[in-house]
Structure formats: C-alpha cells, structure tokens
C-alpha cells in the first residue's frame, strides 16, 4: 500500500479557520496539481469531519485526466474512502453520488442497521477496529478491495493517526502566503500530538506555485 498525504495550509500551518468551514487556501495551479494526484491514485481518503465541514465530491475535475484513466481500463474517478466510525456521513453528502465508488471505513461501534442502510445506498462498508477505525487493519482490508495507492486529503485528525501509525509514504504540502491563526483551527496533524517521538520526513523538492510554495516530503526509511 502506498499512502500520499496532500494538504493546503497557511504559513502558520492551519488547514482551515477556527470556524472549521471550507476555506480556499490554494490557487488554480495547485488545484491542477491535486487533480493530477487524484488521477494517479486508486482512492482518495478523508475523515468524516472533512465531509461534514466541506461536503466535497472528491472527483477529478479535468475531463481529459478522467478519459485517460478510462482508456487505461480504470474507472473515470478514484474511489472515495471515508473514515467514519459510526457512519455519520449524511446520505445526501456529495461523496455519496454515483460518479465514483464510495467506501466507508466504520468501526465496531457502528449500528448494524446503519451499515445495512449504507450498503443499500451502494456504498462498500468495511468494519475495522472497535471504537474508532483501526487504520492499520483497514489498509489490509482495502488491499483486498484492489486499493493499492491512496491519496489522503485530510483532515488533521486522520493525518495525525496515519503519521502516528507510520503509514505515510509521501507528504506534499502547499503553503499559501497567509496567516489563519486561532488555537482551535485545524492543522496538518492534530490528534493527541507527539511529545517524545517526533516523526521526521525527508524534503525531496521545493516548488513555487501560485503565490505560495509546494513542499514534497518522503518517509525516511530504516528509522
Ligand atoms: N486545507 C486542506 O487541505 C484541508 C483538507 C481537508 C480538510 N480540511 C479541513 O479540516 C477540517 C476537518 O479536519 P478534522 O481534523 O477536524 O477531521 P478529519 O480528519 O476530517 O476527520 C476526523 C474524524 O475521523 C473519524 N475517525 C475514525 N477513526 C479515526 C482514526 N483512527 N483516526 C482519526 N480519525 C478517525 C473520527 O470521527 P468518528 O469517531 O465519528 O468516526 C474523527 O473525528 C475541516 O475544517 C476541513 O475544512 C482542510
């Protein structure tokens, strides 16, 4: 399994404001870069709070990229994977649309009735873990679904877990020349935070884009 994390953040590391609502941080070139990343993966993954806050579709925008995928025998869009212990994703969320496959990772705390309802809506449901989704085990189960290459687009809670479990292979960050501030505003990695072991990545490339910069990091092997 190959896992790439991509986010857009402000100079001060915030990925949204303290209102936790959708906020445009990146510019047009960065949207195109992310579109290409989506076109190159089997699935795009987000946490349920991102669904509730932003209601994204998580589809490829550029029709040419979609048709290239089709020509290569792939689906027009990558699958959408939602990390959602209880199945709180609204039935009318845009990710529930029929343009792409939707997979919801639930935990053992999800109601059986809700799982059946999601299955009835055409969603693939995968149960992993007890209270929250066990991400390591989920990756094994996703492999069985043919998913080998995942682009994680947020938010900070999910990214923290993936870094904590040493599951992130690549990390790309667009930094916009703006300050968002706010102690309650989400950052690239929230969760409990690290206190004695601080995961490090190796900087591979720096690229100016729009008004900001994209940093490309890679996992450091043999730590
Ligand atoms: N700038 C960007 O690039 C960008 C991208 C995406 C999102 N965002 C912003 O990020 C914010 C949302 O991020 P967020 O950090 O609050 O939430 P998130 O990471 O999107 O979702 C976190 C939720 O996922 C569920 N979850 C289940 N198992 C988990 C596990 N093992 N580890 C972590 N989470 C697990 C939990 O809810 P349950 O327990 O209910 O399952 C948890 O509250 C929004 O404001 C959005 O606008 C920004």
How do residues 19-33 score in pLDDT, each as one tens digit?
A: 998 899 999 999 999
Question: Looking at residue 223, what is its pLDDT?
Answer: 54
**At 151, is the pLDDT very low, low, confident or very high (cuts 50, 70, 90)?**
very high
Establish whether residue 158 lines the binding site of ligand 1, counting it when its CB lies within 6 angstroms of any ligand atom.
yes
Q: How many domains does the chain have?
A: 1
Establish whether residue 138 lines the binding site of ligand 1, counting it when its CB lies within 6 angstroms of any ligand atom.
no
- The Cα–Cα gap between 185 and 180 comes to 8
Q: State what percent of residues in the chain have pLDDT above 90.
A: 98
Contacts of 140 (CB under 8 A, 6+ apart): none
Buried b (16+ CB within 10 A) or exposed e, 105-125: bbbeebeeebbeebeeeebeb
| Pocket-testing residue among 20, 141, 158, ligand 1, by greatest number of atoms within 8 A of Cβ | 158
CATH of the domain at 144: 3.40.430.10
pLDDT surpassing 90 at residue 135: yes
Establish whether residue 156 lines the binding site of ligand 1, counting it when its CB lies within 6 angstroms of any ligand atom.
yes
| Pocket-testing residue among 154, 163, 191, ligand 1, by greatest number of atoms within 8 A of Cβ | 154
Nearest to 188 by CA among 196, 197, 176: 176
Q: What is the pTM of this model?
A: 0.98
Give the range of the structural domain holding residue 177, as residue numbers without chain letter: 2-219
Contacts of 95 (CB under 8 A, 6+ apart): 51, 56, 57, 58, 80, 82, 89, 102
Question: Looking at residue 100, what is its pLDDT?
Answer: 98
Question: Looking at residue 99, what is its pLDDT?
Answer: 96
């Amino acid at each position: 399994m190959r896992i790439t994390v991509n986010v857009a953040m402000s100079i001060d590391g915030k990925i949204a404001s303290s209102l936790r609502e959708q906020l445009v941080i990146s510019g047009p070139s960065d949207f195109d870069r992310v579109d290409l990343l989506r076109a190159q993966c089997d699935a795009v993954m987000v946490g349920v709070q991102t669904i509730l806050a932003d209601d994204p579709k998580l589809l490829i925008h550029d029709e040419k990229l979609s048709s290239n995928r089709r020509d290569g025998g792939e689906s027009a869009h990558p699958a959408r994977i939602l990390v959602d212990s209880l199945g709180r994703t609204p039935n009318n969320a845009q990710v529930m649309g029929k343009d792409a496959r939707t997979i919801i990772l639930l935990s053992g705390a999800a109601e059986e009735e809700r799982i059946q309802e999601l299955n009835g809506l055409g969603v693939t449901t995968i149960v992993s873990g007890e209270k929250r989704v066990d991400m390591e085990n989920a990756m094994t189960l996703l492999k069985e679904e043919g998913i080998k290459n995942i682009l994680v687009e947020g938010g900070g809670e999910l990214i923290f877990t993936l870094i904590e479990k040493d599951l992130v292979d690549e990390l790309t960050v667009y930094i916009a020349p703006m300050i968002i501030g706010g102690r309650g505003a989400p950052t690239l990695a929230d969760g409990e935070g690290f206190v004695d072991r601080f995961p490090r990545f190796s900087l591979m490339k720096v690229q100016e884009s729009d008004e900001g910069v994209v940093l490309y990091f890679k996992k450091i092997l043999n730590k």
